[in-house]
Amino acid sequence: MLAAWKADPPDAFSQGGFELEDEASETLVYGSRYYDWPAKLLFVTTLGFALLFKGLMGSAFQLTVRFDAEGSTRTKVTIIGRAHPRTRRRLAELATEHGGPVGLRVGV
């Protein structure tokens, strides 16, 4: 399952602008940067001068995905991190499609 996610991550990740940043044993780390419309407007109205402060203006999101075998036929996928609310909703829908979330919360 890890290889499948690495080759073709779920739509929630690709639509959220997440890219694979790191890989460890049974774990993938995805990251994304997001700029709200005021920041984008500032980039345009300052003729690019605000791009010098680009690192301070954006939101950095990171999701760590861990894959643990549950028996010989199932894999438990655990996603931990911060994401945009739209991405969280898509992940909640993905969890529901595959048997529902297990644990404290999803998409909150």
Q: What is the mean pLDDT of each run of 10 residues along the chain (108 residues)?
A: 90 91 94 85 82 79 92 87 88 85 61
pTM of the model: 0.77
The pLDDT assigned to 104 comes to 54
Q: Do strands 74-82 and 59-70 pair parallel, antiparallel, or not at all (unpaired)?
A: antiparallel
Q: Does domain 2-97 bear CATH number 3.10.129?
A: yes
Q: What share of the chain is helix, strand, coil (3-state, %, to 5)?
A: 40, 30, 30
Give yes or no for a contact between 100 and 92, defined as CB atoms under 8 angstroms apart: no
Handedness of CA 38, 33, 85, 8 (dihedral sign): positive
The pLDDT assigned to 58 comes to 80
